A and B are shown apart, each in its own frame.
Chain A
Amino acid sequence: MKRGYAVIKVKEETILYQNDAFRKDDVRERILLNDDTELWISGEDERYEDAMKLLDEARQENQAKETFLSNMSHDIRTPMNAIIGLTSLAKNHIDEKARVADSLNKIEVASGHLLSLINEVLDMSRINSGRLTINEEHFWLSDLLHEVLTVIKPQMEEKHHHLIFRTGDILYESLYGDTLRLRQIFVNIINNSVKYTNENGEILVSFGQEMQDERCYLCFRCQDNGIGMSEDFLKKIFDPFERANSTTISRIEGTGLGMSIVKKLIETLDGTIEISSVLNEGTCVDIRIPLRYEKAKVDIQALKGRNILILENDPEIRQKIAQYLKDDDIAYKETASFSEAISLLTDDEFRGEKTDVLLLGEIGEATGDLFDVASYLHKAHPEMTIVLVGDQDWNDIEYRANRSGIEHFVPLPLFRKSLINGIAAALSEHDQGPASTGLDLSGKRILLVEDNFINREIAKEILFATNVTIDVAENGQEALDRYLSGTHYDAILMDVQMPVMNGYEASRAIRSSGKDDAATIKIFAMTANTFAEDIAKAKEAGMDSHIAKPIDIHKLMQALRTI
């Protein structure tokens, strides 16, 4: 008969742990473990060491679970306390918008943290029960890396870390794999570096590819100058529920499951992970994962015969852009300074040549920012497509970028596919109109309200290039009549000073007309009057924004981009 073991809490006779063979009616031996706990052994007599070993395992497993529960209860309570406390704080100060906004922001962070804790616990449970599945799908390496960067950047910035992002040899940009899991692995590792590195640290992240046995390995490295790990801890790094303790940084929150999950995921993907670390010096993680690939072609037809100007102060990036263009025989000029760019564009202007695309990157030590540069160049060369090449978050800057005349964005790190496709997409949008205004308003209808014949003709000439349908009214009353006649307009370009009815009155009448789109139709004031008070007056009259006269392409396109 197999021996059975059970750990019994004596007074209440509660079973804390037992193996399958334990029979309470057949207890042969009782070993006192501490004041109120005993080990009860049942069944046939076997080696005592076996029993002790089992007991030890049981204790360890129990200990880890207790630690996990204790950690989890703290880790869940911390953000939950924050959410409850901040909600109450916000309610108490409901009339103070700034304070409520601040509380909501903090609640958002705490909720996000809580969600990630829950996700990790669920992941671990899935892995342990063998329910983890891998979904292989096609993806572009550039997309994956940009997603990873987008996720980790806010945390990096919060701790003021300096991120050095490098790409080594990229052999194949078109790959197959489980992007969800790959992203999870890379984000987890980088997040650890962010967490375990004191503020203003340096984190190097690099991606490259290697061929081995006809397989393409994606090689990832994340190296930091953080608190590092002791040799002892390094041995247990992949054990579930283990976390580094540190007195040098504030308490780190997390489940302690992250590295364990990462290891299991990498193993499932047939990859390897190696970690080296020195206490108080930093940690380096190397990951290699084999991926299926294909030799995908990027369509460069749209770029053939085009002239491209690269304005990029960073020599490494400038060289890389130039190399990609050169490889595909695409004509380009390059410069590091905006004044040289202006000079090159003047050259073209003087010779009657045309620069089709400006790739705008870092502008170096200029006083203004790149939006000032874009806006200026767009004003001077409205026919040129401006594509921003940068490491910004496009969502954050899109509005300002569009207002400055930037039509497309190519994110860094730079890949051939994203560069060529980015330029092609920008050109394709830009080329929709016959005079290359960069804006296609086909299918849209605009009401142009202007009493001056020449101004009308100029506005029509500019608008013609956008393929928009234009109706004309010569004063505010006529504009109102046309609007009320039932024709649907997407926007109204409204002169302000006009006979019969001025622009303010007409706008007010349109807004209060009760027509379905009366509140939403865009009305742009067109006037040379730029008194701040009158601009405010135009807004009060219901106009959305203001286009300064005399009209030029840049100003008009800036406004029409918003419809």
Chain B
Amino acid sequence: MQEYQLRYIENTKEIAALLDVSKGEDSETEKIRRLAAKEKIDALKKENVDLLNRHLFTCLDELHAASPDTIRELEEFADVLMDWKSNLDCGIYLLIHESLLTLYRFRRDRNNTIKELYKVGMGMYYRSRSVQGITSNLTNSLYFEGEMMFSEAASYLKYFAEIDDDETKGYIIRSLANTAICVRDLKKKVEIGLRVLQIIQDPFYQQLAPNLPWDVFLQRTHQQMSSNRAIMSRGNLSADELAAVLESCEYVFEPEAHKGDPNVRWLWPYYEMEYSCGFVDIDTTLDRMERLILEADEHSFELSDMYAKCQLPIYYGTLLRRNEKLRNRPKRMRFLKEAYDRMLGVIMDYPLEKDIEYFSYLTVLIITDYYETEGVPSYLEITSKLLRKLSGISYLNSLKAMKITVYLCDILLKEDPSFFDDIPFIAEETDPEKKKELLFRYGETCALYCDFGLLKMNMERLTHTRNLLDKEYEIYQLHTVSGHDDLAARESTKIYADCAYGHHAWYSGSGGYPEGYVRSESPYRQMTAVIALVAYLVENYEHGMDLRELVDTEKRRFSPLLIALMMDEEHLKAVQTLLEQ
């Protein structure tokens, strides 16, 4: 690999490590440590951007003229940035492989085109995972792009006999199987899985490429098929398709389930499969689940115990949420409360250095599927703890944003006591002091929750590693929609949803994102306008900057009233002091 490539990898790993260690509780000592980490991270990011600008982009600019060695080094570099096990920088991996695909298509180099179709497909799949659980045209397109790449590579299957090297044949088979991972229609997933199982067990293909790992293909395809188990009871699968999923479940889970001390991560899917097929009823299933949750080691943070203590309670809650009869059983609801309480404790105690990737995955699961109901910890409580634990150095910015928001709200309220009265619960409070206090707490929470959607998208590392590529920026913008949807779906957080949705939209409606935000229709619009300005200042202000100029440059984005307020010398100084803290 070239020097810049090694340096970029090293920097990226260091940034990831610094980000990980700076997460956790926010004591004063921690804050100082985070500040130091932030400075280091900023410097590394700057260097990364420079490396890409000076070397990688120049190389890709002139790719048609690149030597075979340069191309080989590029491939090596890309494959370190992302493989099945780690995702150091999926965006740059994808950029390199997309460029190589263009090159090989142009050269009409069939075998390399097939390889690159597979690699680009993989990159697209990983990229689309950052938006799983979010439904939009963009997310559909992201999945679909991957599906098309794999489909094209897989379409060379009919020339399997004529293709002369095993590596290309391997890419064809892998692409064929991977088409299913990018498909969101569950029935289609099963159809593809069935076809793949047929092909990889067909002696005709096996004899044509005896060196390919056919047994691994078989195992992985069965695993993939078994992940469709949850749809068996509600999908419109044919008898053959049902049988195929069942067979895959047995292939994957049965040997594990019947071991002396079975791992809960295999046992629960097996139980789930039995329930989905109607072999056991819902009560037996819930009893089994309760037993697995209770049997987990209270003090262990091992994966299987975390699975039982944190993931299973979420699945338990989902089953209750979907079934009204179950919700009416006090025993089940009591258990849910206990399981959620315990889960909250485990989350707070979890040492992030153990496995931050897993913890991030768990966070997405909780944010998406947490069942807020009477008696359980509120969604606000659990997510604010997650935010504090996971946002690390970003939390420093949140603290600043909270303080500036309170400052601006105070001034606005002094000038016009009814300024925020479009917000129903603020208007209802008649005692001025209580009203002020209520507004300040609301403003602080809005400042903390405005980027809530980012937590689920797991993009923090990327934003600190380098600048975002254009497609990534498009994906990044979805955090407004994602945050809004999750917050609006729960009673305890719904008042913060509009702020998360509209804080990047321009006041006049003529720019920003998302397109769906209509300021005039939101009762929370005044607070959203405040947060929009505050978030912009916190994000863009750097030490020693001319704040007046910063505000003035982008004033068309914000409320004219707030801009006028900010231009007042006294307020400008006060806000600058808070930004400098």
Binding site for B on A (CB under 8 A): 95-99, 101-102, 338-339, 342-343, 345-347, 350, 365-369, 372-373, 376, 379-380, 452-455, 458, 495, 497, 527-535, 546, 549-552
19 pairs, CB–CB < 8 Å, chain A vs chain B? A96-B508, A338-B148, A339-B154, A346-B158, A365-B185, A367-B143, A368-B140, A379-B105, A452-B65, A458-B64, A528-B95, A530-B470, A531-B467, A531-B469, A532-B468, A550-B63, A550-B103, A550-B106, A551-B102
- Taking a contact as CB atoms under 8 Å apart, the answer to whether A95 and B560 are in contact is yes
User: Counting chain A CB atoms within 10 Å of each CB, which of B53, B151, B156, B182 scores highest?
Assistant: B151
Q: Does B62 contact A (CB under 8 A)?
A: yes
- Taking a contact as CB atoms under 8 Å apart, the answer to whether A497 and B179 are in contact is no
- A531 and B471 CA atoms in complex are apart in Å by 9
- A96 and B58 CA atoms in complex are apart in Å by 44
- A552 and B98 CA atoms in complex are apart in Å by 11
**Given known A-B contacts A343-B155, A350-B159, A376 and B61 have beta carbons under 8 A apart:** no
User: Counting chain B CB atoms within 10 Å of each CB, which of A101, A372, A453, A533 scores highest?
Assistant: A372
- Taking a contact as CB atoms under 8 Å apart, the answer to whether A367 and B158 are in contact is no
Q: B235 to nearest A CB, angstroms?
A: 13
**Given known A-B contacts A101-B509, A369-B137, A342 and B148 have beta carbons under 8 A apart:** yes
Q: Please give me the residue from chain B that is nearest to A457 by CB atom.
A: B64
* Contacting residue for B151 out of A96, A339, A379, A549, CB 8 A: A339
**Given known A-B contacts A380-B152, A527-B61, A529-B53, A550 and B144 have beta carbons under 8 A apart:** no
9 additional contacts, CB 8 Å, given A339-B151, A368-B143? Answer: A98-B519, A369-B144, A372-B144, A452-B61, A529-B57, A530-B469, A531-B468, A546-B470, A552-B102
- Taking a contact as CB atoms under 8 Å apart, the answer to whether A97 and B510 are in contact is yes
Q: Please give me the residue from chain B that is nearest to A533 by CB atom.
A: B467
Q: B305 to nearest A CB, angstroms?
A: 36
- Which residues in B have their C-beta under 8 angstroms from that of A497? 57-58, 61
In residues 127-176 of chain B, which contact A (Cβ within 8 Å)?
137, 140-141, 143-145, 147-148, 151-152, 154-156, 158-159
- A342 and B179 CA atoms in complex are apart in Å by 13
* Contacting residue for B520 out of A99, A338, A529, A550, CB 8 A: A99
Q: A380 to nearest B CB, angstroms?
A: 6
- Taking a contact as CB atoms under 8 Å apart, the answer to whether B179 and A532 are in contact is no
- Taking a contact as CB atoms under 8 Å apart, the answer to whether B62 and A97 are in contact is no
- Which residues in B have their C-beta under 8 angstroms from that of A552? 102, 105-106
**Given known A-B contacts A532-B467, A549-B60, A380 and B105 have beta carbons under 8 A apart:** yes
* Contacting residue for A528 out of B57, B143, B154, B519, CB 8 A: B57
Q: Please give me the residue from chain B that is nearest to A98 by CB atom.
A: B509
- Taking a contact as CB atoms under 8 Å apart, the answer to whether A455 and B183 are in contact is no
Q: Does B297 contact A (CB under 8 A)?
A: no
- A232 and B52 CA atoms in complex are apart in Å by 80
- Taking a contact as CB atoms under 8 Å apart, the answer to whether A346 and B152 are in contact is yes
**Given known A-B contacts A550-B102, A552-B105, A552-B106, A527 and B57 have beta carbons under 8 A apart:** yes
- A528 and B102 CA atoms in complex are apart in Å by 12
Q: Does B539 contact A (CB under 8 A)?
A: no
- A338 and B145 CA atoms in complex are apart in Å by 12
- A57 and B275 CA atoms in complex are apart in Å by 79
- Which residues in B have their C-beta under 8 angstroms from that of A342? 148, 151-152, 155
**Given known A-B contacts A96-B508, A98-B509, A454 and B519 have beta carbons under 8 A apart:** no
- Which residues in B have their C-beta under 8 angstroms from that of A366? 144, 147
Q: A549 to nearest B CB, angstroms?
A: 5
- Which residues in A have their C-beta under 8 angstroms from that of B466? 531
- Taking a contact as CB atoms under 8 Å apart, the answer to whether A495 and B520 are in contact is no
- Taking a contact as CB atoms under 8 Å apart, the answer to whether B518 and A549 are in contact is no
Q: Does B112 contact A (CB under 8 A)?
A: no
Q: Does B473 contact A (CB under 8 A)?
A: yes
- Taking a contact as CB atoms under 8 Å apart, the answer to whether A531 and B520 are in contact is no
**Given known A-B contacts A96-B519, A376-B145, A552-B106, A495 and B468 have beta carbons under 8 A apart:** no
Q: A352 to nearest B CB, angstroms?
A: 11
- Taking a contact as CB atoms under 8 Å apart, the answer to whether A549 and B63 are in contact is yes
- In the complex, the number of residue pairs spanning A and B with C-beta atoms less than 8 Å apart equals 143
- Which residues in B have their C-beta under 8 angstroms from that of A102? 520
- Taking a contact as CB atoms under 8 Å apart, the answer to whether B62 and A454 are in contact is yes
Q: Does B87 contact A (CB under 8 A)?
A: no
- Taking a contact as CB atoms under 8 Å apart, the answer to whether B520 and A96 are in contact is yes
- A552 and B100 CA atoms in complex are apart in Å by 11
Q: B71 to nearest A CB, angstroms?
A: 12
* Contacting residue for B61 out of A365, A367, A455, CB 8 A: A455
- Which residues in B have their C-beta under 8 angstroms from that of A339? 151, 154-155, 179
- Taking a contact as CB atoms under 8 Å apart, the answer to whether A367 and B183 are in contact is yes
- A115 and B163 CA atoms in complex are apart in Å by 68
* Contacting residue for B184 out of A97, A98, A367, A453, CB 8 A: A367
The 5 closest A-B pairs by CB, nearest first: A368-B144, A98-B509, A528-B60, A532-B473, A343-B155
- A30 and B143 CA atoms in complex are apart in Å by 88
In residues 183-201 of chain B, which contact A (Cβ within 8 Å)?
183-185, 188
- A527 and B214 CA atoms in complex are apart in Å by 42
- A347 and B156 CA atoms in complex are apart in Å by 8
B: interface residue count bin:
35 or more
Q: Does B368 contact A (CB under 8 A)?
A: no
In residues 505-524 of chain B, which contact A (Cβ within 8 Å)?
508-510, 518-520
- Taking a contact as CB atoms under 8 Å apart, the answer to whether A338 and B151 are in contact is yes
- Which residues in A have their C-beta under 8 angstroms from that of B140? 367-369
- Which residues in A have their C-beta under 8 angstroms from that of B102? 550-552
- Which residues in A have their C-beta under 8 angstroms from that of B56? 528
Q: Please give me the residue from chain B that is nearest to A452 by CB atom.
A: B62
* Contacting residue for B148 out of A373, A528, A535, CB 8 A: A373
Q: B129 to nearest A CB, angstroms?
A: 14
- Which residues in A have their C-beta under 8 angstroms from that of B144? 366-369, 372
Q: A98 to nearest B CB, angstroms?
A: 3
- Which residues in A have their C-beta under 8 angstroms from that of B106? 458, 550, 552
- Taking a contact as CB atoms under 8 Å apart, the answer to whether B62 and A455 are in contact is yes
User: Counting chain A CB atoms within 10 Å of each CB, which of B61, B152, B468, B509 scores highest?
Assistant: B61
Q: Does B99 contact A (CB under 8 A)?
A: yes
- A510 and B266 CA atoms in complex are apart in Å by 65
Q: Does B472 contact A (CB under 8 A)?
A: yes
Q: B144 to nearest A CB, angstroms?
A: 3
Q: A547 to nearest B CB, angstroms?
A: 11
- Taking a contact as CB atoms under 8 Å apart, the answer to whether B155 and A550 are in contact is no
- Taking a contact as CB atoms under 8 Å apart, the answer to whether A532 and B472 are in contact is yes
User: Counting chain B CB atoms within 10 Å of each CB, which of A458, A495, A552 scores highest?
Assistant: A552
Q: Please give me the residue from chain B that is nearest to A376 by CB atom.
A: B148
- A350 and B162 CA atoms in complex are apart in Å by 10
What 1/0 mask marks residues of chain B from 50 to 88 whose CB sits below 8 Å from any chain A CB? 001100111111111100000000000000000000000
- Taking a contact as CB atoms under 8 Å apart, the answer to whether A532 and B469 are in contact is yes
- Taking a contact as CB atoms under 8 Å apart, the answer to whether B158 and A347 are in contact is yes
Q: B180 to nearest A CB, angstroms?
A: 12
* Contacting residue for A343 out of B62, B158, B188, B509, CB 8 A: B158
- Taking a contact as CB atoms under 8 Å apart, the answer to whether B99 and A528 are in contact is yes
Q: B502 to nearest A CB, angstroms?
A: 11
What 1/0 mask marks residues of chain B from 350 to 384 whose CB sits below 8 Å from any chain A CB? 00000000000000000000000000000000000
- Taking a contact as CB atoms under 8 Å apart, the answer to whether A98 and B560 are in contact is no
What 1/0 mask marks residues of chain B from 459 to 495 whose CB sits below 8 Å from any chain A CB? 0000000111111110000000000000000000000
User: Counting chain A CB atoms within 10 Å of each CB, which of B99, B110, B155, B518 scores highest?
Assistant: B155
- Which residues in B have their C-beta under 8 angstroms from that of A458? 64, 106
Q: B136 to nearest A CB, angstroms?
A: 12
- Taking a contact as CB atoms under 8 Å apart, the answer to whether B105 and A365 are in contact is no
* Contacting residue for A372 out of B65, B141, B509, CB 8 A: B141
- Taking a contact as CB atoms under 8 Å apart, the answer to whether B520 and A98 are in contact is yes
- A270 and B11 CA atoms in complex are apart in Å by 83
* Contacting residue for B188 out of A98, A365, A452, A531, CB 8 A: A365
- Which residues in A have their C-beta under 8 angstroms from that of B467? 531-534
- Which residues in A have their C-beta under 8 angstroms from that of B143? 367-368
Q: A362 to nearest B CB, angstroms?
A: 15
Q: A96 to nearest B CB, angstroms?
A: 6
Q: Please give me the residue from chain A that is nearest to B98 by CB atom.
A: A548
- A342 and B103 CA atoms in complex are apart in Å by 20
